[in-house]
């Protein structure tokens, strides 16, 4: 099966590499910008283009582009052949409706950065096809990549994506705040690594509700006030106060 | 060296166990409540008491109690012998001033829950003594527990504790929100484990600033609005909006 990638960002880079590694035939990488198209094409050892008119004929087109770019890219394609698959958590399968005959979604629930390798075999992959044949193909591709494949409707996928935003994106932002706070004291961020690792690991044996520790859970007002006063950044102060009060409220009940 | 533990909570349980395991002599556990004093004493195979008047004579008293209970417990002790050590991130060493001759702090930077084992040998431990002799004893104890021991002033420790609140306590609260969100779709929380593990692991090779992904970093307003609308809980909505805007602002700059 010949696959064309539309997009050359974080998701495209990891997904294309994992597919190539599993023996799939990636015949072309499209990206608006030449450097990123070229870079991924080189990595995958395939061709690239920067114009949608130059897309090759293929069995499958995998869209790994910004959610808000999907509609416009789809509308600009002038053919209806092939299977069209996007990878976005928060975009409905219907974005392809009335344009193609076979389409679907393959959503890997993971955070991808180009510079960081990931083990695709443990990543949960959620698939959705507009018909049984497409769903079957998607499952067969997903199963070649990971041992954790599931069917999910667009609605379920969007809810999953919101949960992922809290569990990953927002969490990582708090790592950034923590790094800013320790660096102010000339302490290297690495010092927090065992704590971060244990926090993430704890929830494999305890529910996050039971794993909660810290001043807010204990409703330790003296410590919270002291910490609040020591935080200098206004946004960090607001976050500290609000999240602490949410936690305290949750455990008072 | 004979050690008495004042407190039988999460920190006391893990620290007492680790000290016992390294061959230190824990002669007594004090706790206000009999069941918890008894439980830890049984685990450590030592005696327990529920009254401060019954504290044994020892070389070291380790206080692992709520930050806001420290002052009152210290004031009720009617002897000044022994080394007095607390384990709180946000309490100054001065809490012991004018009461004892030798005192200090031993602060393990980790999240402890009784039900979850931890590997103490990789936990950063920060020590502070009121004199050189006490500091030396604290370092020798800390070194017996962990390969990562540091000196930290009370001020540095409080800043570290604030960073830990963001990196651990607030992060864990977001795991709780994520678990509530997936459970609403009847998806088990375990599905998020690889994502949570990767998010925590990424920051060993990328700075958290570079590791950031998600709709807010891309300033993907359409996705953010869609996700915001789908969140039902009012607190979660507020958090979503505020943290997203903080992230977007950070990456616009």
pTM: 0.92
CA-based nearest residue to B65, from B49, B97, B87: B87
Residue B9: the pLDDT is: 95
Q: Confidence band (pLDDT; 50, 70, 90) for A230?
A: very high
CB contact under 8 A, B90 and A226: yes
DSSP secondary structure of A45-104: T-EEES-GGGPPP-SEEEE-S-GGGHHHHHHH-----SEEEE--TTS-GGGGTTT-SEEE
CATH class of the domain defined by A2-152: alpha beta
Residue numbers in B near A177 (CB within 8 A): 163, 166
- B93, B154 contact by CB (below 8 A): yes
CB contact under 8 A, B196 and A167: yes
What's the number of CA atoms in the CB half-sphere (13 Å) around residue A63?
A: 26
Residue B68: the pLDDT is: 86
Task: Confirm or reject contact between B197 and chain A (CB < 8 A).
Answer: yes
Task: Confirm or reject contact between B132 and chain A (CB < 8 A).
Answer: no
Taking only the tens of pLDDT, chain B with its 253 residues reads: 999 999 999 999 999 999 999 999 999 999 999 999 999 999 999 999 999 999 999 999 999 999 889 999 999 999 999 999 999 999 999 999 999 999 999 999 999 999 899 999 999 999 999 999 999 999 999 999 999 999 999 999 999 999 999 999 999 999 999 999 999 888 899 999 999 999 999 999 999 999 999 999 999 999 999 999 999 999 999 999 999 999 999 999 7
Residue numbers in B near A168 (CB within 8 A): 195-196, 198-199, 213-214
Q: Report the length, in residues, of chain A.
A: 253
Residue B186: the pLDDT is: 84
Question: Hey, where are the domains in chain A?
Answer: 2-152, 158-252
- What part of B 22-51 touches A (C-beta under 8 Å)? none
pLDDT at A110 over 90: yes
CB contact under 8 A, A90 and B215: yes
- Cα B171 to Cα A110: distance, rounded to the nearest angstrom: 17
Residue numbers in B near A243 (CB within 8 A): 170, 173, 239
CB contact under 8 A, B222 and A67: yes
Residue with tokens 């830890």: B40
Helix (H, G, I), strand (E, B) or coil at A206: coil
Asked if domains A2-152 and A158-252 share a fold, the reply is: no
* Shortest Cα distance, chain A CAs vs residue B107, angstroms: 13
Q: Which residue of B has its CA nearest to A213?
A: B169
The ipTM, to two decimals, is: 0.93
Q: What is the mean pLDDT of residues A214-236?
A: 95
Q: Closest to A191 (Cβ–Cβ): which among B124, B165, B187?
A: B124
CB contact under 8 A, A179 and B213: no
pLDDT at A186 over 90: no
Residue A185: the pLDDT is: 81
pLDDT at A224 over 80: yes
Residue A68: the pLDDT is: 85
Helix (H, G, I), strand (E, B) or coil at A161: helix
- Cα A117 to Cα B205: distance, rounded to the nearest angstrom: 10
- A143, B168 contact by CB (below 8 A): no
Residue with tokens 């680790």: B18
Residue A184: the pLDDT is: 86
pLDDT of A58-109, one tens digit each?
999 999 999 889 999 999 999 999 999 999 999 999 999 999 999 999 999 9
Domain A158-252 in CATH 1.10.1040.20? yes
Which tokens hold the place of A176?
Answer: 């950034």
SS3 readout for chain B: CEEEEECCCHHHHHHHHHHHHCCCEEEEEECCCHHHHHHHHHHHCCEEECCHHHCCCCCEEEECCCHHHHHHHHHHCCCCCCEEEECCCCCCHHHHCCCCCEEEEEEECCCCCCCCCCCHHHCCEEEEECCHHHHHHHHHHHHHHCCCEEECCHHHHHHHHHHHHHHHHHHHHHHHHHHHHHHHCCCCHHHHHHHHHHHHHHCCCCCHHHHCCCCCCCCCHHHHHHHHHHCCCHHHHHHHHHHHHHHHHHHHC
Determine which helix (DSSP H) or strand (DSSP E) holds A42, and give its type and residue range: helix A34-44
């Amino acid at each position: 099966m010949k696959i064309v990638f539309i997009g050359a960002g974080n998701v495209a880079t990891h997904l294309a590499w994992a597919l190539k590694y599993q023996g799939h035939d990636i015949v072309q990488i499209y990206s608006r910008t030449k450097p990123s198209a070229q870079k991924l094409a080189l990595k995958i050892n395939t061709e690239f283009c920067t114009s949608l008119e130059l897309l090759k004929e293929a069995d499958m087109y995998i869209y790994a582009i910004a959610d808000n770019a999907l509609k416009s890219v789809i509308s600009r394609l002038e053919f209806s052949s092939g299977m069209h698959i996007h990878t976005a958590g928060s975009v409905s399968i219907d974005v392809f409706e009335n344009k193609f005959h076979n389409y679907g979604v393959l959503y890997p629930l993971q955070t991808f950065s180009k510079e960081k390798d990931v083990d695709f075999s443990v990543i949960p992959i959620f698939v959705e096809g507009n018909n049984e044949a497409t769903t079957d193909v998607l499952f067969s591709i997903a199963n070649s990549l990971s041992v954790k494949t599931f069917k999910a409707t667009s609605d379920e996928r969007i809810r999953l994506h919101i949960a992922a935003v809290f569990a990953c994106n927002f969490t990582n932002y708090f790592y950034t705040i923590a790094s800013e706070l320790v660096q102010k004291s000339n302490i290297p961020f690495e010092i927090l690594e065992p704590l971060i690792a244990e926090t993430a690991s704890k929830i494999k044996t305890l529910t996050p509700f039971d794993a909660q520790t810290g001043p807010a859970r204990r409703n330790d007002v003296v410590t919270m006030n002291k910490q609040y006063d020591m935080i200098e950044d206004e946004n960090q102060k607001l976050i500290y106060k609000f999240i602490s009060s949410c936690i305290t409220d949750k455990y008072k009940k």
